Structure 1
């Protein structure tokens, strides 16, 4: 009888031990999936990665100036390269140094002269035309005050230019020149000049006050900087040429 009671009482003990071993195995399995060296916070299942600390309300993110500075420097460098490229090869601006192009262009020593925009690119693809207002490097016989001069193209290569009876002639044909300063009463007489190949005969619109090809001779094609296309300053003189 006693032996049977011991056999009957051993059943609950074995069942309890089995549940304990299952619980231990489950706990070990959960700890194995957690990050090494980390302790799960209270209330989180084993293996859950810890949450990142949150920034307090109202706190501002510290700005990173290095990327912004790099972008700003890149932008300024790009603008500088564009400006230099445009000024060197495409357009430029020049102040009128004297009154030799009155009334088309205004310029004097004690006033606000016109600022002229010069197209440097057009003559790379096309030829110089009569009546173009061009900026060119100072010829050897011109006064040394200015490095560049601005005049109007009158005679083309191979033509014969002369002045008499108050007009300019190309061969035997008188030019119609509405741009000439009316205060001069036309153009003074000058001897006929044959314009050599690769050169141009230029004159100022203010025929009674202009040092031009009548004085320093023709200019070479290579000395021409570009064609004047507009007056950009002052605003009251703003216009296309």
Structure 2
């Protein structure tokens, strides 16, 4: 599913703003403020000399204007004042969303029932390694994605878009999806039937199961009306690693790639259709719903 497609270049915009406001802040601290101080000192010296002459002539003067003059001379121009005040805030936001946590909004139903439309989620940016912002190049290796993780990544067909799915296959795995059941490396996953899921928007029911994927239990949905086979998969890179039939498909995940599927299995365009996700497209691990304005009970962690 697509996330924040409208704000696809937000990280770049934030980076540019950080650099621009940082340059203005730096110039003000080390150059403009010194110029203002020098001009203020000159104006104060002239003020003091003028008042000293008046006092020598026996004229009573009011020295209270000296503080106002100094304040006016040292006052930052509006454009510098705003830039300087915004810089630490923008820099902090850029650091947090680039290296620690980034917020996203769920716009579609491909991860129902785990994630709902309108969920505002947090993504851990460092779980899978430290990456440089903008270019998304990994510089420090930490952990690898595991089966069962809910992961945000760059859409392979259009890297300007962020998608979210569940990791069902890691490098080297043989993934078989047969009659709407997953088999990983020859071992069929266990499925516990749950009460049917009601889609309140469309007033339709779907079969609901508790799937156990490498020890991670999570709910999935199946639409009995949808076929088991994959309809019209794209000619994606390394598609020779996959074979399709009327019951489903089998794929061997290449090195450095991951196989992703949505929990709403029959309503998700995922790796079954557009292929594998390369490691360099990973954004982070989704782990927490921090708000849903339509249903605040949604707040909390998820698997």
TM band (smaller chain) = 0.5 to 0.7
CA separation of 1:73 and 1:67: change in aligned 2, threshold 3 A? farther
Determine if contact 1:130/1:155 at 8 Å carries over to the other structure. Answer: yes
Match of 1:228 among 281, 286, 290: 286
Aligned residue for 2:181? 167
**1:181 match: secondary structure:** strand
Aligned residue for 1:239? 300
**2:272 match: secondary structure:** helix
Asked if 1:84 corresponds to 2:94, the answer is yes
Structure of higher CA gyration radius: 1
Deviations along 1:37-65, one digit per CA (max 9) or x if unpaired, are x99xxxxxxxxxxxxx998xxxxx85947
Aligned residue for 1:11? none
| Distance in 2 between residues matched to 1:194 and 1:207, nearest whole Å | 19
Determine if contact 1:187/1:207 at 8 Å carries over to the other structure. Answer: no
TM-score, normalising length: structure 2 = 0.52
**Matching of residues 85-104 of structure 1 within 5 Å:** 85-104=95-114
Deviations along 1:6-42, one digit per CA (max 9) or x if unpaired, are xxxxxxxxxxxxxxxxxxxxxxxxxxxxxxxx99xxx
| Distance in 2 between residues matched to 1:211 and 1:160, nearest whole Å | 20
Determine if contact 2:289/2:299 at 8 Å carries over to the other structure. Answer: yes
5+ long unaligned stretches in structure 1: 1-37, 40-52, 56-60, 108-112
* Offset of residue 222 of structure 1: 0.8
5+ long unaligned stretches in structure 2: 1-54, 57-61, 130-141, 191-210, 212-216, 229-246
Match of 2:119 among 114, 122, 125: 114
Bigger strand share:
2
Aligned residue for 2:239? none
* Offset of residue 166 of structure 1: 3.2
Aligned residue for 1:218? 276
* Offset of residue 72 of structure 1: 7.8
- Is the deviation greater in 115-124 or in 151-160? 115-124
* Offset of residue 216 of structure 1: 0.7
TM-score, normalising length: structure 1 = 0.64
| Distance in 2 between residues matched to 1:220 and 1:145, nearest whole Å | 11
CA separation of 1:146 and 1:238: change in aligned 2, threshold 3 A? farther
| Distance in 1 between residues matched to 2:154 and 2:221, nearest whole Å | 28
Determine if contact 2:174/2:253 at 8 Å carries over to the other structure. Answer: yes
Determine if contact 1:202/1:218 at 8 Å carries over to the other structure. Answer: yes
Aligned residue for 2:44? none
| Distance in 1 between residues matched to 2:147 and 2:254, nearest whole Å | 15
What count of residue pairs does the alignment treat as equivalent? Answer: 182
Asked if 1:181 corresponds to 2:216, the answer is no
**Matching of residues 44-55 of structure 1 within 5 Å:** none
Deviations along 1:90-144, one digit per CA (max 9) or x if unpaired, are 221121121100111112xxxxx1112111111112111111111111112xxx6
RMSD of equivalent CA atoms: 3.3
